[in-house]
Structure 1
């Protein structure tokens, strides 16, 4: 249902997962008897207030790969999206209890930190390969914590003083994943204000722009902090717009993502209106990307158009090429303003259909943009509808 509702609105659906977190607390009585906590108790490690899968076990890695393969194969999703939780954020004076698997699987001379990073790296690479083997157009994205490493630990790091970082604490070597093109996009969680003393949003946006290795980067913004944070900057209603506008000045930054929608949908609606008026004042297509192997697409040919008071049916000369994922249809009576008309999305999802249906467009002209699985506009067609086909 969620996938259909998103696609009907021309939105992509990215399936959001946390790979290693098995429970949200230590209470297990409410878990299903089929939960892995009961079926594979030896996979679980207790740390802090949660249970986690042991990332060092090959069985865990294979299990996660099977889950992702099932989701990609059986659902018409656009991406698999991992959150910032890899190895858990460290608890004070508490070591993650993976000594048994470390002793069993480490390489000679390999430190525990390097072994943990290798476990995560191996999972990310295998997931990338699994996803592309099933559906090469499904993206694999990650939204990591906003700091890779502090400059005090590594000259390549950012000018920040984060208490924990991806590389040193979560064992997520994000730069390696981008450098090797194991992921298709990155959304670093830059949930600080523009001039934050320890982790400046501005400086971090600059850093990620300069360290993208050609992988699309979308800045993660934190509207959940608006009027709720001790940082006074979040009381400024212009803070979020300032961040978005700054991201647009950086050449390697492709856009923004907000956590979470309810922070500007349910409350702070004045901020939502400001975003709509000042930075999101026109519709846009989801980002496109190029397939690794060239594709040849049979261009759709419109045979005729029939309109009733309820719907407009666009008939095709032959079944649609399965490489076509959806069409965007606009109707108008003036060619010069046709591009400003309301956009109607007709989702076909690769089906070999012979016609499309959209709400009734009793207009002289129709513009149809055909979009493939990679988000590319295959062709734009303008069709003049005969008066005899209109009500």
Structure 2
């Protein structure tokens, strides 16, 4: 089974140099080469989205008014890259050039990774606003209850949305911190001030929900096509806590992290949900198979993607992860639910230079052919423009195409499909996708070329637009056996 529309994402973690940059002291040239290596590896595997961590501990991998440069990027917090480049702008462009969606991943509430203040720049919020911080379990956190914290973190997100050509803002599972045995998250002062008679648990959930709602409206007011996706911990609530919960015995979003993904979906505040189902198919405490079914039955108004734990392959006490087939089986199982429409993997390094057998299995089976992420439910619409060919020709090396820029559609990509005959091209067949091209419009025209080797296999092709919302237009077919030039007649002179 090869779905034509499927989200295939990979998390690229920058915090403590998990995935990229490989070390904090790499030079710019090496950083760039390593990032491109990640993109190329996942393009070869037919992935179509990268989820890149751009803010992890009150810092930024881009020039920000609200945060210092990340030490994971430049070796020292607050220090700009040298030679200077805007890492985020460059990463987005490189991703788009290879047909990936770019999801900018931020950890809003985590302010530091440890208690060592010597590693922080004087521009860090811990020094500028110590009254915003709560120390807990060896880290500092922004207090989610404070209106000024919410306002500040909203500006952080808005800056990224306004300045950068991203496809989505992505939050992961860190809301209120995971419980540390014997430690108390001391938000007494803000609870006394703002608690308003709610139980502490309900009040904390309300703080998170208010923030999620604000971020949602902030994104859509600025750029309605930018998605807001959240990747919560894999369990909403256990059945023992709530009859609507899942058959699991686990930490849960609602009761432990004060996050209520069900509410966010009901209110249409998020565009996709990507629960982290980092367990094996039949794990006894939290089974992947039961949870996929649970999320598919309990999500609404959003696209549903599944988060997989590639980091657990051959590295977990649960021996199911020793089998090459664990992740392929998980993908096949998720695909059997019609409203589950993709997967993402934590994290990028686990399919690079290791786990070759799993990678090969995916390359030959589940991910043998490309796929396009579909528009999320709230952004679906019909594109009224269809591609209009101005010129098409070929030589021994390449096929060259020129199209008229559409009048009503902001186009992100064009997709080319191959076929046997101009009347027989199935654009719903993933095996017929030849190429997805990032669009550059110049003087009202879109021009691109495709290597002859790729198109020589076909007698005809069809071309579609993909807009910024990820919707696809109806196709225009081209007979590849005939050169084509559209001669525009001279316009009569109206001023005679």
Normalized against structure 1, the TM-score is what?
0.91
Deviation at 1:90, TM superposition (A): 0.8
C-alpha distance after superposition, 1:324-362 (max 9, x if no partner):
221123568865689756633332378874122234448
Does the Cα contact within 8 Å between 2:307 and 2:343 map onto a contact in 1? yes
Alpha-carbon distance change, 90 to 77 in structure 1, aligned in 2, over 3 angstroms: same
| Structure 1 contact 76–349 (Cα < 8 Å) conserved | no
Once the two structures are TM-superposed, the CA of residue 295 in structure 1 deviates from its matched residue by 6.8
Tell me: higher relative CO, structure 1 or 2? Use CA pairs within 8 A at least 6 residues apart. 2
User: Contact (CA 8 Å) 2:413, 2:466: kept in 1 or not?
Assistant: yes
Measured after TM superposition, the shift of residue 323 of structure 1 is 2.2
Q: Is 1:7 equivalent to 2:102 in the alignment?
A: no
Cα deviation 1:171-220 (Å, max 9, x = unaligned) = 00111111111111111111111111111111111111111124221111
Is 1:83 aligned with 2:172?
yes
Relative to structure 1, the CA distance from residue 229 to residue 176 in structure 2 (aligned partners, 3 Å threshold; closer, same or farther) is same
Change (3 A) 1:80 1:181: same
SS at match of 2:475: strand
Looking at structure 1, the residues matched to 397 and 300 of structure 2 have their Cα atoms a distance apart, in angstroms, of: 49
Task: Please give the residue correspondences for 1:177-216 in structure 2 after superposition, counting only pairs within 5 Å.
Answer: 177-216=264-303
3-state SS of paired residue (2:117): coil
Give the 3 Å change call, closer, same or farther, for CA 95–238 of structure 1 in structure 2.
same
Q: Give how far 1:308 is off.
A: 5.8
Match of 2:214 in 1: 126
Q: Which segment drifts farther, 247-256 or 300-309?
A: 300-309
Residue 169 of structure 1 aligns to a residue in which SS?
helix
The CA distance in 1 between the partners of 2:249 and 2:260, in whole Å, is 18
Matched, 1:275 2:362: yes
Cα RMSD (Å) of the superposition? 2.5
Deviation larger for 323-332 or 195-204 = 323-332
Mapped partners of 1:290, 1:160: distance in 2: 29
Aligned counterpart, 1:368: 463
- Asked if 1:143 corresponds to 2:143, the answer is no
Question: In the alignment, what sits opposite 2:245?
Answer: 157
Matching of residue 329 in structure 1 with residue 416 in structure 2: yes
1:26 aligns with 2:26: no
Aligned-partner Cα distance in 1 for 2:179–2:107: 16
Tell me the secondary structure at the aligned position of residue 103 of structure 1.
helix
Aligned mate of 1:170, from 257, 262, 269: 257
Distance 1:188 1:87 in 2: 17
Aligned pair in 2 of structure 1 residues 372, 319: CA closer, same or farther (>3 Å)?
A: closer
Offset, 1:41: 1.7
Whole-angstrom distance in 1 between the partners of 2:275 and 2:357: 26
Residue 24 and residue 220 in structure 1: after superposition, are their counterparts in 2 closer, same or farther (change >3 A)? same
Match of 2:446 among 355, 358, 364: 355
* Counterpart in the other structure of 2:80: none
Taking the aligned partners of 2:396 and 2:160, their CA distance within structure 1 comes to: 39
Task: Report the CA distance shift for 1:351/1:233 in structure 2 as closer, same or farther (over 3 A).
Answer: farther
Distance, in Å, in 2 between the alignment partners of 1:299 and 1:333 is: 21
Residue correspondences, number: 387
Q: Deviations over 1:356-381 (max 9, x none)?
A: 22344486644311111221111211
Matched-pair contact (CA < 8 Å) for 1:16–1:80: yes
Give, in whole Å, the separation in 2 of the partners of 1:106 and 1:242: 46
TM-aligned CA deviation for residue 387 of structure 1? 4.2
Structure 2, unaligned stretches of length 5 or more? Answer: 1-89, 486-496
1:258 is the counterpart of 2:345: yes
Contact kept, 8 Å, 1:57 with 1:101, in 2: the verdict is yes
Task: Say whether residues 1:44 and 2:128 are aligned partners.
Answer: no
Give, in whole Å, the separation in 1 of the partners of 2:356 and 2:320: 18
List alignment gaps of at least 5 residues for structure 1: none
Q: Secondary structure at the match of 2:193?
A: helix
1:311-330 correspondence to structure 2 within 5 Å: 312-317=399-404, 321-330=408-417
- SS of residue matched to 1:378: coil
